[in-house]
Structure formats: C-alpha cells, structure tokens
Chains A and B, each alone.
Chain A
Amino acid sequence: MSGAAAAAVPGCAASMTSDILLQFCVAGVTYGVIYGVVAIGFTIIYNTTGIINFAQGEFLMLGAMTAVTLQRFVPLPAAILGAVAITMLVGAALEVLFIRWLTRPSVLRMIMITIGLSIVIREVALHVWDEKSHALPYFTGDAVSALTVAGAKISPQVLWVVGVCGAMVLLLGLFFHATPLGRQMRACASNRDAARLCGINARNMVTLSFVLSAGMGALAGCVVSPITFVQYDSGTALAIKGFTAAILGGLGSTAGAAAGGVVLGLLESFSVWFLPAAYKDAVAITVMLGVLFVRPTGILGNAEAARLRGH
C-alpha cells in the first residue's frame, strides 16, 4: 500500500512540474503583455516628443472606467469603442492644453507636468467614479472558465488580451511604416527640425502621438480589466511596470517595448517560483535599476541611435 503510493509520487511529481512551469509561463505572458502595451504607449510619445508621459497608466484606468460606465447603457463592444474614443479625446486635450504651448521645455519640467497631470486625473476619477474597484465582464466565459493546454489552464480572457494587444502592435507597425502619416511621425521622431523643413506639422504629430497612445492605453485597459479590476488609482502601478518594460526594451523601440514587457512579466512570474512571493514587485525595480546601470540603451536598444538622438 505504502509502496504503491511511494511509486506513484515521483511520476506524478515529474508531470506536475512541467504543468506548473507552463502555468508560470502563462501567468508571466499575461502580465507581460499588459506591461508591454503600457510600454508601447510610453514609446510612441517618447519618440515624437522625447518626453516620458508619466500619465500613461492613467489612460488605461480612464479607458476601463469609462467602458464600465458606458456598458450600463450600450452593448460591450460599443462601450469599449466609446471609451477608447473618449480617452483619445482626453489625450488630445491634455496635449493641447498643457504641452503644445511650451517652447523647448526642459526634461525636468515635462516630468513635473506629466506627473502632475497623472495626479489630477486620478483625483478627478475618484470624484467622477468612486473609490471602489470595477471590472468589465469577461468577454468569453467567466472568471473561472479556463482552456487546458498541455496541462496548463488559460483563461479565455488571457487570449483576448494577447490577441488584442498583439493586433495593436502589428497595426501600429503597419501604421508607422506603410502610411504617410506614420512616416511623418517617424520623421519627427528622428529629426524634428528636418521634418519641419520638409513641411511636416510637428506639433500636430505630437498631438497625434498623445491620441494614439491614449487610445492604445484605453483599449488595453478595457481588455485587461476583467482580470485585474480597475479603480481610480490603478494607473500608477501599471505605469511603473510599463516604464520598466520600455527601458528594458530600449526606449524608442516599439518591438523592444513589447518584448521588454513579456520578459519582465516572465521574470516576475518565475521569481515567485524561486523566491518568496513577497519579492515579486521588487523584481521589476531591480531589473529597471540593473538595466539603467549596466546597459542604459536597453536590451534591444541601439547605442548608436540613442547617442544620435541625444544630439
């Protein structure tokens, strides 16, 4: 009896381990894609303006909260589209009101302004909505439904997150490389003065970058909200993780940002396996500091390009 039990355990443990490793991968990719999308939002604005928009996390919160409210009146897809549109307008308004009229602002000033804006948006959200956490319903199934893939359980919502975020990255790549508008934005990114000499309205491109990154943030916020919930102050934590991912991937590179997010998510997830879970959040900060000290251009960043941009 005891012999049979003992014999069963090793085999069981082996299959358990591979299941569990896969499960950690799934969890890591889920967080990672979310971080990646926030990181891309940072990247878009950084590329056209050279500033880090610390209110990026607030776009996710605004998108999700607006969709939760709209969803009471219209079907889910319409609510999400409406929330994305409204958040884009907010993004444009922020740029036009607070950024556009500044002539050659210093980096420090821009950091102050965007941090200030993020605090204002949070407080406004607290008053418009409330202090409670909200969530959109699961797009498919519910909180506990899961697909089993090779022994690991995957929530259908995770597939939505990966699918929507992946599609966003692809479309963004197409937009930047295959449309005149996208090329104009990239021209501004590589050399603003030269772009203006070519007749590109650089200021409008900056507004457009805020609109784009607000829209991306809002859509990402909607897709992840069934898993993560959202309340007025959820933007901050996401912004820190997203910023880390952006740095990890080399600020300025969209693909790098996406990859940086996934790497960070996997690192966090697997850190739980090796370390006490309490250190999970310390991993992101450690990675950020490590990258800043050792390789400030990021894993995928190009040192040459970074130096040229600096001039």
Chain B
Amino acid sequence: MRRMRNLVVTTACAALLAAFPAAAADTIKVGAILAVTGPAAFLGAPEAKTLEMLAAQVNAAGGIKGMKVELLIKDSAGDAEKALSLAKQLVEEEKVFAILGPSTSGESMKIKQYMDENATLLLSCAAAEAITTPVLKWVFKTPQNDANAVRWIFGDIQKKGLKKVGVLNSNTGFGKAGRGQLEKLAPEFGIEIAIAEEYDKAAVDLDAEVTKLKAKDVQAVINWSIEPAQSKVPVSVRKLGWNVPVYQSHGFGNVKYAEACGPAAEGVLFPAGRLLVADVLPDSHPQKALLVKYKKDYEASAKEAVSTFGGHAYDAFTLLMKAIEIGGPDKEKARAALENLKGFVGTAGIFNFSPQDHNGLGMDAFEMLTATKDCKFVLAR
C-alpha cells in the first residue's frame, strides 16, 4: 500500500516536471501595463479591451507559431511609479517576453530605461517623441509622434493666416512633452506663443485659465492633454463667447471626449490617425480593410465606439506578433525583426522601422479631423 502511494507521488512529480517545460514552450507570456482606471482611463480601458480581444483571436486561430499567447494585463491607473513596479514584476517574476504599453507618456518615460537595461521589448502606446528619441535598443512606440501632430496644427494655423496663439497643457508627461514641441517648432512656422499655461490633470473647470488666455487676445487656442479635463477647454472658450479656432492634440481621439464637450465640440480641430474616419476612406487606401475590420470587431466585442487609443494597442500587439512570427520566441531575434520591419499596415499608419527610427510613422500617418455638431469625427476640409 505504502509503495503504491510512493509510486503515485513519484509519478505525479514526474508528470509535473514533464508538464512544466512543455507548458512553457507552448505559451508565450506577454505583459501589458495600461491605465485601465484613473485619469487616463479613456486610453487604458479601450487598450485593455483591444488586447483581450486580439489575444483571444490569436489563440482561437491556434496561437502564434504554435504557442498560445498568455496575456497579463496590469492596471497602473496612470501612475508612473506604479508602472515601474509593475514592469519589474512582469520582467523579473513573470519573465514576460515583451511588455505592451504603458498608456501614457509619463509612465513610458519612467520605465523605458529599465526595459532597455533588462533587454525586454517595450512597445509603448504613448505618443511623446521623447520615448523613442534618442533611440533605445529595446524601446518602440506605436502612436504618431507629437512633433508631427504639432506640425499639422501649426500648418493649419499658418494656412488660416493666424500668428498669435495661446497654449494650454495638462501637467502630465504627454502635456509637458507636447508643450515642449509646440514651443520648439513655433518659430519654424512664424507663430508666436503669446501665453502658455499648465493645469492639473484632474482639473474640474478651466474657466479661469481660459479667461487668462482670452485676455492675451490670442487668435487660436491649442490644448495638449489626454485626460477628461481637455473637454473643458472648448466648453470654456465657447461659454466665454470667444470665437477662435480650438485645436486639440491627437490625445482627443476618443469620441467620448467630444461628447463631453456637448455643443462646444463643433469645430474642434485635431490631428489623428485614420481609424476614426475609416468609413469615409476610399477602398483603395491601404489601411481601409484593416481599419474597418478592427472597428467592427472592437465595437461588437466592447460595445462602445472605437478610439485611436485602442488602435495603438492593436498596433503594438500585431507588431509584436509579426516580430515573433519572423524572429521566433527569441527576444533578440524578435527585436531585430521588429527593427527592420517595413511597410507594416497598422491603425496609426504604415510603419517603417529602422535602427534610427523606433516609431516608424511619418507626417502622412495623420489627417486633420474635426468634430461635428452631433459629436461625430469627420475629415476637416
């Protein structure tokens, strides 16, 4: 009896030992650090839903190179310190193959050095150009550069013949980086930033700030943030009876932000990827099929309107899958594959990576969009 039991235990142990390496070879662990809650939840929540949907799709189709994708989504609540400790947890304890995210620029800046030192791929879903400039070997990002967003906005302002603008930004990594780009590029376009003010990311009302801009008599207002507070800017401008163009950053690409503006959304201009206007693209456009499919899939599974932020996670995930497909489950080979990837169609644009460019998107990844009276996004004409 006793020998029997020993045998059973030994067999069980052997089976376990045999099972574990097998399981490790059959799955690939992908970490994700997203601001699912907190002030950047309009970014992180659609990103998380997108990743869950894509992982399920890949696994249903038999996985990637025969490996199931095991997705570990961690909520950072938009907190950079928390993002760093989550990155350490994912890399050191979970030994993930790569990390997708974080959602915000501040968090991405905080963890990029750590990821590079630990030789684990980071595909950031945040926009600040500083994330991939200077290039770190292991750090990539999927959203369009803020510098290009600035060029689109200044180009439009120049076309309107305006010279003097006022800038508002939130006190986050994204807001500060955007303001830096605005101040850097303004002279190139012959535009004067007469006043620049920063507000708290959790601000509930911006009447006082906008009043200060109005007193400077600027000809256009540019706001740079990704939090719900950005909806307060057009509201305050219009409420004060002030009839100047209002520009938002590409951080405005969630229709909920326009809805939060109510009637003030009408006419707000912002550069964004083509995802939000997928339906009106010509069928010949190389992104059309992918955009329409993602939009349809997302809206069916998440039961809410698609946003550019979910698109950034879509790009991060599909790029990683492509890199694994080419390079296999080897971190260095997958990284090299990603770095040399050209002509990859994503939601944000056509990615052309190189050792000097870990963003891979150019000016053509943007269109100038505007919101209509009933809070729909359309191409600005």
Q: What is the number of residues of chain A that contact chain B, defined by CB distance less than 8 Å? A: 42
A residues 33-80 touching B (CB-CB < 8 Å): none
B41 touching A143, Cβ below 8 Å: no
A 101-114 binary contact with B (CB < 8 Å = 1; else 0): 00000000000000
Check: B235 CB closer than 8 A to any chain A CB.
Answer: yes
Check: B138 CB closer than 8 A to any chain A CB.
Answer: no
B215 touching A30, Cβ below 8 Å: no
Query: What is the distance, in angstroms, from A76's C-beta to the closest C-beta of chain B?
Result: 16
One of A246-254, A256-264, A277-285 contacting the partner: A277-285
Q: What is the number of residues of chain B that contact chain A, defined by CB distance less than 8 Å? A: 34
Q: From A23, A132, A269, A277, give the contact of B256 (CB < 8 A).
A: A132
B264 touching A272, Cβ below 8 Å: no
Query: What is the distance, in angstroms, from B181's C-beta to the closest C-beta of chain A?
Result: 18
B212 touching A273, Cβ below 8 Å: yes
In the assembled complex, which residues on chain A have CB atoms less than 8 Å from the CB atom of B45? 130-132
A277 touching B209, Cβ below 8 Å: yes
Q: From A20, A228, A276, give the contact of B197 (CB < 8 A).
A: A276
A31 touching B205, Cβ below 8 Å: yes
Complex Cα distance, B208 from A27, in Å, reads 6
Complex Cα distance, B262 from A231, in Å, reads 18
A143 touching B240, Cβ below 8 Å: no
A30 touching B171, Cβ below 8 Å: no
B260 touching A135, Cβ below 8 Å: yes
In the assembled complex, which residues on chain A have CB atoms less than 8 Å from the CB atom of B212? 272-273, 277
Check: B42 CB closer than 8 A to any chain A CB.
Answer: yes
In the assembled complex, which residues on chain A have CB atoms less than 8 Å from the CB atom of B205? 27, 30-31, 227-228
| Residue of A16, A30, A227, A277 contacting most chain B CB atoms (<10 Å) | A277
Complex Cα distance, B263 from A155, in Å, reads 14
B198 touching A278, Cβ below 8 Å: yes
Known: A144-B239, A146-B241. A280 touches B211 (CB 8 A): no
Check: B226 CB closer than 8 A to any chain A CB.
Answer: no
In the assembled complex, which residues on chain B have CB atoms less than 8 Å from the CB atom of A278? 171, 197-200
Check: A120 CB closer than 8 A to any chain B CB.
Answer: no
Check: A186 CB closer than 8 A to any chain B CB.
Answer: no
In the assembled complex, which residues on chain B have CB atoms less than 8 Å from the CB atom of A227? 204-205
Complex Cα distance, B175 from A49, in Å, reads 44
Which positions in B face A, CB cutoff 8 Å?
36-38, 41-42, 45, 171, 197-200, 202, 204-205, 207-209, 211-212, 214-215, 228, 231, 235, 238-241, 256, 260-264
Which positions in A face B, CB cutoff 8 Å?
16-17, 20, 23-24, 26-28, 30-31, 126, 130-133, 135, 138, 142-146, 148, 153, 155, 227-229, 231-234, 237, 268-269, 272-273, 276-278, 280-281
